[in-house]
């Protein structure tokens, strides 16, 4: 999968550094050459000898090692790389990257490179959720840095939450997606997915049954063809794919914001099941029973239509906007009308009547509707629908400049 590729692996100083050794082994199993770079702190957790033995390569750790600079300076290190991976990416390393600091070999390498960078953050959950880290992550994502993880789970510090480094197998998948040399290389595509959650009060919300399966499959298929995917997802049941930039949102309004932030893009695919309405007034405290048997009325107000808003942008509209039309009656005529009303270029119509088993299921049967006609695709897995859509998008966009 990674034959002939060279990964410069920067190992940061966190307890997850031990997993970086396993990552070296797995990357090599896939055929990649791995050049390990250890920060000073990383050497407190793993020894250069272990990294070197597993990589079967020299380990780099000192910016001022004249011998190294003579043999292979930091510019050379970056030149030789197809991808730079930072795992574990500590809060400190992310902060340095976001600020553009260059005071050791790892940070200098990261500032001096024009290669793609994939980071696998790992830190205590309070560090991960701290506003400073949130800011740094947002800055890096805007700069085009790719993220894999962190996962949620038990952490070495005895706490539970987001901050665990992704498993080596997931990082390898993200590396493969980042290096995918497909027809969408150089393209940036925004994908929305999952349901949205519209709060009524602090404990209740309006939502829907979307699992996020189709949107996730679309994002994965686009990344596999080499696209840089910004994956804007509501609280879905399936985990996001590796190798894409994940932006998690809850409400429709947050989803619209996130999509607008993610532009410009070459294409946008709107696979999310956005709630059409939200509570007009979100109560600050839990709505109580009156005891008189009278149910409270929840006044609803309409949510923004993300697909229509983006389709009708006067400036900066993605050249290709794709929507889905999940219908239970008059599927095709409703979908045709929807394409025109919302102003998108393509719409994928599908029948979500309960008897089809499509909503929440693994299969889908869609018709692609565009201005010049329609194509009914046979019933197939959501993964194959995604792959076919990704291939059609690649055909439509053609090769990127310099791609
Ligand atoms: O719910 P509806 O059938 O109108 O959804 C059709 C398309 O519009 C889907 O692609 C969906 O992601 C998108 N949509 C949206 N924002 C909404 C409602 C729907 O982007 N508020």
- Say how many Å lie between the CA of residue 277 and the centre of ligand 1: 12
Distance in angstroms (rounded) separating the CA atoms of residues 366 and 201: 37
Range name among 32-36, 68-72, 135-139, 229-233 with the lowest pLDDT average: 68-72
How does pLDDT run across 38-54, given as a tens digit for each residue? 999 999 999 999 999 99
What does the pLDDT read at residue 69? 55
Domain boundaries, the chain: 1-179, 183-403
* Mean pLDDT, rounded, for 160-176: 90
As a whole number, mean pLDDT of residues 291-317 equals 93
H-run or E-run covering 375:
strand 373-376
Residue having the nearest C-alpha atom to atom 5 of ligand 1: 325
Buried b or exposed e, range 325-364, using 16+ CB within 10 angstroms: bbbeeebeebbbebbeebbbbbbbbbbbeeeeebbeeeeb
Ligand 1, closest atom to CA 347? 10
- The H-assigned helical ranges of 74-233 are 74-80, 91-99, 105-112, 125-129, 131-142, 168-179, 213-224
pLDDT band at 326 (very low <50, low <70, confident <90, very high): confident
- Per-residue confidence (pLDDT) for residue 79, from 0 to 100: 85
Reduced to 3 states, what is the DSSP secondary structure of residue 68? Answer: helix
> By the 8 A CB rule, do 214 and 200 touch?
no
Q: Taking CA 324 as the corner, what is the angle to CA 321 and CA 326, rounded to the nearest 5 degrees?
A: 165
Alpha-carbon gap, residue 370 to 325, rounded angstroms: 13
Provide the 8-state DSSP code for 193.
E
Segment 148-173 mean pLDDT: 87
What is the per-residue pLDDT for 272?
A: 97
Share of the chain above pLDDT 70, in %: 97
Residues 138-146: what's their mean pLDDT? 83
Q: Answer yes or no: is pLDDT of 65 > 80.
A: no
**According to CATH, what is the number of the domain 183-403?**
3.40.50.10300
Active site (catalytic) residues: 157
Q: What pLDDT score was predicted for residue 23?
A: 98
Angle at CA of residue 178, ends 172 and 179, nearest 5°: 90
Q: What is the mean pLDDT of the chain?
A: 91
DSSP states of 277-310: EEESS--SSPPPP-SSSPPPP--EEEPP-HHHHH
- Per mean pLDDT, which range of 8-12, 52-56, 378-382 is the poorest? 378-382
Q: Identify the residue with better confidence: 121 or 361.
A: 121
Residue whose C-alpha is closest to residue 93's, from 110, 115, 76, 68: 110
> Using CA positions, which residue lies closest to atom 2 of ligand 1?
325
Nearest CA to ligand 1 atom 8: 307
Give the residue, by CA position, lying nearest to ligand 1 atom 13: 307
Q: Which of 344, 349, 336, 347 is nearest to 320 (CA)?
A: 344
Pocket test for ligand 1, best of 250, 259, 272 (most atoms within 8 A of CB): 272
Mean pLDDT within 306-333: 95
Q: What is the pLDDT of residue 209?
A: 87
Which atom, in ligand 1's list, is nearest to the CA of 276? 21
Residue among 323, 332, 346 to mutate when testing ligand 1 (max atoms within 8 A of CB): 323
Range with the largest mean pLDDT of 26-40, 55-69, 73-87: 26-40
Residue whose CA is closest, atom 6 of ligand 1? 325
Atom of ligand 1 nearest to the CA of 324: 10
- Nearest partner of 342 among 395, 270, 258, judged by Cα: 270
Q: How confident is the model at residue 70 (pLDDT cuts 50, 70, 90)?
A: low
Rounded to 5 degrees, φ, ψ at 133 are: -70, -40
CATH 3.40.50.1950 fits 1-179, yes or no: yes
Question: How far away, in angstroms, is 111 Cα from ligand 1 center?
Answer: 40
d(CA 46, CA 94): 20
The alpha carbon of 398 and the centre of ligand 1 are apart by a number of angstroms equal to 26
Per-residue CA distances from 26 to 33, 87, 181, 201, 369 (Å):
11, 13, 20, 47, 42
pLDDT at 164: 92
User: 183-403: same fold as 1-179?
Assistant: yes
Would you place residue 356 in the very low, low, confident or very high pLDDT band (cuts 50, 70, 90)?
A: confident
Q: What is the pLDDT of residue 403?
A: 45
Per-residue confidence (pLDDT) for residue 357, from 0 to 100: 79
* Residue 310 CA, closest ligand 1 atom number: 20
Question: Is omega for the bond preceding 150 within 30 degrees of 0, making it cis?
Answer: yes
Task: Please give the pLDDT value at position 67.
Answer: 56
pLDDT tier, 71 (very low <50, low <70, confident <90, very high otherwise): low
Say how many Å lie between the first and final Cα of the chain, rounded. Answer: 20
Residues 6+ apart with CB under 8 A from 69: none
Contact 317, 311 (CB under 8 A): yes
pTM for the whole thing? 0.69
pLDDT band at 72 (very low <50, low <70, confident <90, very high): low
Ligand 1, CB within 6 Å, residue ranges:
192, 252, 270-272, 274, 276, 303, 305-307, 323-326
DSSP state of 44: G
Lowest-confidence region among 81-85, 236-240, 361-365: 361-365
Q: What is the pLDDT of residues 178-222, one digit of tens each?
A: 888 789 988 999 999 999 999 999 999 999 988 899 999 999 999
Ligand 1 center–CA 190 separation, angstroms: 15
Q: Which 8-state DSSP code applies to residue 379?
A: S
Q: Which residue minimizes the CA distance to atom 3 of ligand 1?
A: 325
Distance 326 CA to ligand 1 centre (A): 9
- Please tell me which residue, 228 or 255, carries the higher pLDDT value: 255
Among candidate residues 227, 257, 260, the one with its CA nearest the CA of residue 244:
227
State in Å: Cα 307 to ligand 1 middle: 6
Place of tokens 């990294």: 51
């Amino acid at each position: 999968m990674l034959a002939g590729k060279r990964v410069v692996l920067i190992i940061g100083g966190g307890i997850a550094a031990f997993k970086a050794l396993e990552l070296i082994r797995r990357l090599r199993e896939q055929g990649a050459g791995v050049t390990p770079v250890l920060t000073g702190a990383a050497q407190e957790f793993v020894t250069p000898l272990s990294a070197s033995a597993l990589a079967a390569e020299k380990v780099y750790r000192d910016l001022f090692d004249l011998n190294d600079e003579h043999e292979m300076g930091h510019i050379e290190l970056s030149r030789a790389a197809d991808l730079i991976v930072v795992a574990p990416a500590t809060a400190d390393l992310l902060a340095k990257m976001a600020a553009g600091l260059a005071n050791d070999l790892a940070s200098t390498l990261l500032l001096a490179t024009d290669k793609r960078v994939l980071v696998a953050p790992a830190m205590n959950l309070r560090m991960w959720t701290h506003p400073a880290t949130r800011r740094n992550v947002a800055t890096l994502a805007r700069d085009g840095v790719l993220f894999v993880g962190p996962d949620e789970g038990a952490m070495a510090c005895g706490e539970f939450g987001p901050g665990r480094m992704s498993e080596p197998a997931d990082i390898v998948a993200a590396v493969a997606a980042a290096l995918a040399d497909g027809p969408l290389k150089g393209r940036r595509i925004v994908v929305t997915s999952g349901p949205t959650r519209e709060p009524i009060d602090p404990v209740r919300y309006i939502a829907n049954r979307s699992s996020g399966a189709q949107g996730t499959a679309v994002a994965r298929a686009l990344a596999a063809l080499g696209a840089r995917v910004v994956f804007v997802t509501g609280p879905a049941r399936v985990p996001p794919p590796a190798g894409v930039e994940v932006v998690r949102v809850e409400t429709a309004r947050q989803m619209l914001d996130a999509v607008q932030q993610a532009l410009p893009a070459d294409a946008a695919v709107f696979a999310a099941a956005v709630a059409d309405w939200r509570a007009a007034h979100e109560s600050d405290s839990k709505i109580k029973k009156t005891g008189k048997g009278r149910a409270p009325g929840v006044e609803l107000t309409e949510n923004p239509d993300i697909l229509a808003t983006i389709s009708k942008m006067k400036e900066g509209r993605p050249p290709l906007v794709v929507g889905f039309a999940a219908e239970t009656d008059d599927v095709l005529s409703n979908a045709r009308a929807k394409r025109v009303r919302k102003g998108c270029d393509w719409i994928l119509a599908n029948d979500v009547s309960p008897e089809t088993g499509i909503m929440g299921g693994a299969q889908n049967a869609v018709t692609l509707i565009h201005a010049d006609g329609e194509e009914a695709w046979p019933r197939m897995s959501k993964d194959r629908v995604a792959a076919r859509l990704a291939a059609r998008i690649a055909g439509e966009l053609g090769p990127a400049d310099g791609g």
